[in-house]
Amino acid sequence: MSKWIEVVELNKIPVLGSRLIKTRDTDIAVFRGSDDQVYAIRDACPHKGGPLSQGIMHGSTVTCPLHNWKIDLASGNALAPDHGCSNVFAVKVEGGKVFLQLP
Amino acid sequence: MHKENLVLIGNGMAGVRTLEELLKLAPDHYNITVFGEEPYGNYNRIMLSPVLASEKTIEQIMLNGEQWYIDNGITLHKGKKVEQINRARREVIATDGTVAHYDRLIIATGSVPFMLPLPGADKTGVIGFRDIKDVDTMLDTASRYQHAVVIGGGLLGLEAANGLMKQGMNVTVVHLLDTLMERQLDKPAAAMLQKSLAERGMTFLMEHSTAEILGEERVTAVRFKNGTEIPADLVVMAVGIKPNTELGKSAGLYCERGIVVSDTMQTITDPKIYAIGECVQHRGIAYGLVAPLFEQAKVAANHLAKHGIARYVGTVTSTKLKVTGIELFSAGDFTGNDQTEDIVFKDAASGTYKKIVLQDNQVKGAVLYGDTVDGSWYFQLMKDGTDVSAFRDTLLFGQHHLGDSGHNPDTRVASLPDNAEICGCNGVCKGDIVKAITEKKLFTLDEVRAHTKASASCGSCTGLVESLLAHTVGGDYSATPKTKPLCKCTDYTHDDIRHGIIQHSLKTMPAVREHFEWKTPDGCPSCRNALNYYLLCAYPTEYVDDAQSRYINERAHGNIQKDGSYSVVPRMFGGMCTSDQLRAIADVADKYQVPTMKVTGGQRIDMFGIKKEQLPAMWKDLSAAGFVSGHAYGKAMRTVKTCVGSEWCRFGTQDSTGLGVKLEELTWGSWMPHKFKLAVSGCPRNCAEATIKDIGVVCVDSGYELHIGGNGGIKVRVTDLLCKVATEEEVLEYTGAFCQFYREDAHYLERTAPWIERVGLEKVKTAILSDAANRKALYERFLISQQPAQIDPWKARADGAEAAEFTPIMIEA
């Protein structure tokens, strides 16, 4: 299992907003819900690759800024009636810090 | 990001479609190399028959010319045949020695015509019908010789025969069986087809088996097993195709009839190698039609883009004959068996034949000859498994006979073919919509929008979609209710909520949601943005804006573009500028290497292709040069377009430019229910096009005409005349009052044009004209809201506001 990497302090992510994390391989959007639950998802909508980090979050869902697809942040699946899925990454909060696990 | 190498072998329809789909999903994922045996770009092979018949040219059937490959950074090796795949070294090697390394490989080598192993089949003038070279050979032969023999009375053979006949040759079609196109037609339809082609001059030798092709070097005659002979200068073999598996086999990939692939279009031997199109065998089937290839392309692209969610599960196919003047359609099981029933219509005199095969009141197959307009409808019913018992008695008469045909305009949309595009924005065809309605049992416009995206973007096709809905579901259709809730999170309307916000002094979004018993904790992208605007409008000096309840354009103060970059538009008041300002913009463009600049329709300069991280620094430089944000991204006042006016123009009656500058200084920065534009024209010639703006001022000798509610958008609307005033001060006051009335009354995302049509011009006139006190109060409220609004968001962010929004976090892992 790969190790956990500290990426950002929780309070540096706006509530119902996101921060963009750039790694060598991919861009990842880390979202913070109104309940401080965090989610990490590949920053590309399964539809046309729109930057999900720039979308509007509601509940545990983000709406893609390009064509309004709605993506469930927990599973990465597009909500019906759309079909598609974007990778999600393991993420946790400890001591006010957000940790990501990269495959 | 490290790019992998993707190599495509085969520059045909299936392979290139895969690349097109892939470029849509993941444009930067791969370095792409294409090997094509033919010396062309990519062309539409199924249109070769019309080329042979001189109904189209090669140029007209090119799908992607060489520029397309250049534009997409694809290396094209045309006219190079790949002869070896080295799977251990992951290389493909072409006959001329070109080597390409791959991380992923797509084999799309298509099929080859099946050539009967007859004695003499190697003579000059014996060909298949597969590519442009074959068509060239046929056209060349037709110009010099008389007699053509086409072996094979199937789809391809008849198309070739028709083309050769059109080129002036005597054409004989030789067929082994007693009916033409036996895989697509039943006997009655085949007989009608044969009669019609014979009337055009085609000769048929049915139940004839070819024995030998005669001649010295070139073919001169064909001899049959019954001993007869006919003269021939050209023999076209069209007895079938076989998947071209030669390369796949030599690479050690498991092949049966075709290269065997899984549901993800990966070869079952080597997952790094995909195979697609006619060279493939999927679940035991090798397809020779285009629709399945396109479906396969979509799946392969999805997998290559590493989305990995699509599966190919096979395709139900239908057939049409591409011979002009002959209408023929078939699909599914059209012969039937003892479990099926036939509904048949035959009128030999008019040349019409229709047969529908039903099982348990579901369409299993269809053959149509002479009148094929309903082919795609039957095909849809067949694919959907629709229960047709309700309209079985009129099924043969087609889709027109459903519903109340002939009595209302809905029939116009009903008579459109399934492939007619209804929604241009989202590329949704009628068939997609009908299918969604019938299959998913949809009853409202919103449901159709959600499932198909039709009319979900610009909305100009809403009427068509509603007609289609009404027609498809008949009496069950419920018209969109007149009073719609704001969104799915609430049962209350926009108006209920706006009034509630004032009446109950609700000053935060949670307070509004609690008061109106919202069904969701955070709201949704629809209501979040609307509530944020309504609160800002109601309490301009108190309300704290919520950045997370704004579209990204407003949050990032730039317009997001298709590739995720942004555009930057500095404000140029009234369209005026100085040479220093232009130089400053040019310097900024140089410094940030802006790839594209253009003058907008609102007479300003747009800079495209800016990375989000660059925005604050660029804004800082623009601020230093005296520019503020043009709000070209916002639901806000954007521009004031002007003409030259009396200062220079020989027709100008007033200083339209100067007035435009004053109006822009008054209104810039104001948030609106939707985008909002003004214009001032110096005379009735109206060079600033003021009569299609939200507010247009037309200067005349005696003063200023104020026009409102114009829209140059999807549905053009010319303004209504509000009134005429005498002084610039009045123009400013009336403009401010109108802006404020619109801001306080319209629904969020409702432009002035539909708003005025909804509430009526009288209501607006009453509020602004009849009641001077009210006008002054509106103007006063507008001025108050402008005090906190006219803070340049660019400068604020350049100075550090919302820095996290623009700063990605880099990690090394």
For residue range B543-559, list pLDDT tens digits in order: 999 999 999 999 999 99
User: Closest-CA residue in chain B for A8?
Assistant: B809
How many CB atoms sit inside 10 A of residue B133's CB? 13
Q: Which H or E element spans position B293?
A: helix B290-304
Nearest residue, CB atoms, A5 vs list B2, B550, B813: B813
Tokens, residue B244? 């071209």
Q: Which H or E element spans position B111?
A: strand B111-113
State whether residue B801 sits within 8 Å of chain A by CB. no
CB A85 within 8 Å of CB A77: yes
Tokens, residue B443? 């009853």
Q: ipTM, 2 decimals?
A: 0.89
Q: Which long-range contacts (CB under 8 A, 24 or more apart) does B492-495 make?
A: B492/B516, B494/B530, B494/B747, B494/B748, B495/B747
**CA–CA separation, B220 and B232 (whole Å):** 5
pLDDT band at B813 (very low <50, low <70, confident <90, very high): low
Nearest to B80 by CA among B91, B63, B93: B93
| For range B636-665, the mean pLDDT | 94
CB B680 within 8 Å of CB B722: no
CB B108 within 8 Å of CB B277: yes
Q: How far apart are the first and last CA of chain B?
A: 13
Give B617→chain A minimum CA distance, Å.
19
Tokens, residue A84? 């598609």
pLDDT at A74 over 90: yes
pLDDT at B786 over 60: yes
State whether residue B726 sits within 8 Å of chain A by CB. no
pLDDT at B460 over 70: no
pLDDT band at B348 (very low <50, low <70, confident <90, very high): confident
How many residues make up chain A in this entry?
A: 103
Check CB contact under 8 Å for A56 and B528: yes
Interface of A with B in 37-96 (CB under 8 A): 46, 48-51, 54-59, 63, 65-68, 81, 83-86
Residue B555 with chain A: CB contacts under 8 Å: 54
Nearest residue, CB atoms, A59 vs list B440, B521, B555: B521
**Which residues make Cβ contacts (< 8 Å) with residue B756, sequence separation at least 6?**
B708, B709, B720, B764
State whether residue B510 sits within 8 Å of chain A by CB. no
- The DSSP letter of residue B678 is E
**CA–CA separation, A39 and A15 (whole Å):** 12
User: Between the CA of residue B203 and those of A45, A66, B170, B190, B214, what are the distances in Å?
Assistant: 58, 58, 8, 15, 20
CB B678 within 8 Å of CB B692: no
**CA–CA separation, B602 and B575 (whole Å):** 8
Query: At A26, which amino acid appears?
Result: T
> Tens digits of per-residue pLDDT, B431-452?
888 888 888 878 778 888 878 8
pLDDT band at B478 (very low <50, low <70, confident <90, very high): very low
Tokens, residue B174? 């030789």
User: Between the CA of residue B798 and those of B613, B733, B803, what are the distances in Å?
Assistant: 11, 33, 9
Mean pLDDT of chain B: 89
Residue B522 with chain A: CB contacts under 8 Å: 16, 33-34, 57-59
Query: Phi, psi (5° rounding) for residue B664?
Result: -70, -35
Lowest mean pLDDT among B19-33, B386-400, B756-770: B386-400
Lowest mean pLDDT among A16-25, B2-11, B182-191: B182-191
Q: Determine the pLDDT at residue A58.
A: 92
**CA–CA separation, A43 and B605 (whole Å):** 30
pLDDT band at B213 (very low <50, low <70, confident <90, very high): very high
- Supply the Cα-derived Rg of chain A in whole angstroms: 13
Check CB contact under 8 Å for A14 and B548: yes
Residue list for the binding site of B: 643, 649, 683, 687
Kindly give the interhelix angle for B525-538 and B494-503, rounded to the nearest 10 degrees.
Answer: 40
Check CB contact under 8 Å for A17 and B548: yes
Query: At B75, which amino acid appears?
Result: T
Nearest to A42 by CA among B271, B805, B548, B26: B26
Nearest residue, CB atoms, B307 vs list A21, A54, A84: A84
pLDDT at B406 over 80: no
> Tens digits of per-residue pLDDT, B261-308?
999 999 999 999 999 999 999 999 998 877 788 889 989 999 999 887
CB burial readout B530-540, b (16+ within 10 A) else e: bbbbbbbbbbb
Residue B440 with chain A: CB contacts under 8 Å: 81
Q: Determine the pLDDT at residue B400.
A: 59
Lowest mean pLDDT among A31-45, A74-88, B370-384, B625-639: B370-384
| For range A65-79, the mean pLDDT | 92
**Which residues make Cβ contacts (< 8 Å) with residue A10, sequence separation at least 6?**
A32, A36, A38, A93, A96, A97, A98
**CA–CA separation, A57 and A30 (whole Å):** 11
Check CB contact under 8 Å for B560 and A54: yes
- Binning chain A into helix, strand and coil, the percentages to the nearest 5 are 5, 45, 50
Which has more confidence, B320 or B406?
Answer: B320
User: Between the CA of residue B143 and those of B44, B136, B146, B194, B234, what are the distances in Å?
Assistant: 25, 11, 8, 26, 12
**CA–CA separation, B692 and B677 (whole Å):** 9
- Binning chain B into helix, strand and coil, the percentages to the nearest 5 are 35, 25, 40
pLDDT band at B705 (very low <50, low <70, confident <90, very high): very high
**CA–CA separation, B40 and B58 (whole Å):** 10
Nearest to B135 by CA among B117, B154, B114, B159: B159
Q: Determine the pLDDT at residue B412.
A: 53
Lowest mean pLDDT among B114-128, B361-375, B549-563: B361-375
| For range B525-534, the mean pLDDT | 94
User: Closest-CA residue in chain B for A83?
Assistant: B309
CB A67 within 8 Å of CB A54: no
pLDDT at B230 over 70: yes
pLDDT at B173 over 50: yes
Full DSSP string of B37-67: SSSSSEE-GGGHHHHHTTSS-HHHHEEE-HH
pLDDT at A80 over 90: no
pLDDT band at B383 (very low <50, low <70, confident <90, very high): confident
Peptide bond into A81 cis (omega under 30): yes
**CA–CA separation, B119 and B136 (whole Å):** 25
Q: Determine the pLDDT at residue B568.
A: 95
pLDDT at B486 over 50: yes
Q: Determine the pLDDT at residue B53.
A: 86
Preferred mutation among A4, A56, A57, A63 to probe B, highest tally of B CBs within 10 A = A56
Check CB contact under 8 Å for A7 and B521: no
pLDDT at B109 over 60: yes
Residue B1 with chain A: CB contacts under 8 Å: 24-26
CB burial readout B660-676, b (16+ within 10 A) else e: bbbbbebbbbbbbbbbb
**CA–CA separation, B653 and B673 (whole Å):** 33
Preferred mutation among A58, A68, A100 to probe B, highest tally of B CBs within 10 A = A58
Lowest mean pLDDT among B245-259, B369-383, B502-516, B567-581: B369-383
Give B176→chain A minimum CA distance, Å.
47
| For range B455-484, the mean pLDDT | 63
> Tens digits of per-residue pLDDT, B316-326?
777 777 777 78
How many residues make up chain B in this entry?
A: 813
Check CB contact under 8 Å for B811 and A7: yes
Nearest to B85 by CA among B9, B5, B3, B6: B9
pLDDT at B158 over 80: yes
User: How many CA atoms are closer than 13 Å to the CA of A93, on its beta-carbon side?
Assistant: 16
The rounded percent of chain B whose pLDDT value lies above 70 is 95
Check CB contact under 8 Å for A21 and B811: yes
Q: Determine the pLDDT at residue B793.
A: 93
> Tens digits of per-residue pLDDT, A33-43?
999 999 999 99
